[in-house]
Chains A and B, each alone.
Chain A
Amino acid sequence: GAGVSQSPSNKVTEKGKDVELRCDPISGHTALYWYRQSLGQGLEFLIYFQGNSAPDKSGLPSDRFSAERTGGSVSTLTIQRTQQEDSAVYLCASSFVGQGSSYEQYFGPGTRLTVT
């Protein structure tokens, strides 16, 4: 079956521009997560959705970052006025939430963002 997909796979943008990153989770997965991974580093949690609501936004690094999810499916992470320190790989993951689930996350291939 189809896995988690993300687009674009690569994005190069100029400092100060806005970018939108898209995540399409596995069908039926109600939980969706966004992470950021800088070169050679671990995963930094950004935001979590259960359905369309985001009960945990604690990881968003600044108010330039926002995310939404519509229809319990596709999610968009928006970074406004990008800065060079925003350069990283942005990973999206989804998981099934239900009785008997171990809640393992399935990750997309990521979007590599480069801010010049």
Chain B
Amino acid sequence: AQKITQTQPGMFVQEKEAVTLDCTYDTSDQSYGLFWYKQPSSGEMIFLIYQGSYDEQNATEGRYSLNFQKARKSANLVISASQLGDSAMYFCAMRERRNTGNQFYFGTGTSLTVIP
């Protein structure tokens, strides 16, 4: 089974509108972390937001918020007031603890295009 599933290969959003990028995860661990990264066309991966499995409040960072629904194992990224610079690939990731240390799993990504 896939550890991280991103079902939207491509998304379009009008500038200044909000958009939700879907992410579901699979783990039997109680303690884990969820992350979103942005990868613009330049290629560099940029950390956006983090949610710990024990955090009861949804994480927020500026225009980014993570809609964490633990029972459904979903960790959707919400971008409010989209800007042209938000056009990029977005990757959802999960951290699990192993005896060997932290193991990270990445989804296949969602390509977001912001339309003027």
Contacts and interface: CB of A to CB of B under 8 A. Distances in A.
A45 interface: yes
Main secondary structure of the interface of B (DSSP, over half): strand
Interface string A85-111: 000010101010100001111111110
Interface residues of B, number: 25
Interface stretch (B12-20, B41-49, B70-78, B79-87): B41-49
A56 B50 contact: no
Interface string A21-35: 000000000010101
A33 B105 CA distance: 12
Contacts of B52: 102
A41 B109 CA distance: 8
Given A42-B106, A104-B35, A56 B100 contact: yes
A103 B103 CA distance: 10
Contact of A43 (B33, B102, B106): B106
Given A103-B95, A104-B35, 6 more contacts: A45-B104, A55-B101, A56-B98, A91-B45, A102-B33, A106-B47
B60 interface: no
Per DSSP, chain A at the interface is strand
Given A43-B91, A91-B45, A33 B33 contact: no
A41 B108 CA distance: 6
Contact of A110 (B43, B100, B103, B107): B43
A90 B43 CA distance: 11
Nearest to B108: A42
12 contacts: A31-B102, A45-B104, A45-B105, A55-B101, A56-B103, A97-B102, A103-B33, A103-B102, A105-B35, A105-B104, A106-B47, A110-B43
B7 to A, nearest CB: 13
Given A102-B33, A110-B43, A42 B109 contact: yes
A33 B44 contact: no
Contacts of B106: 35, 42-43, 45
Contacts of A33: 104
B18 to A, nearest CB: 24
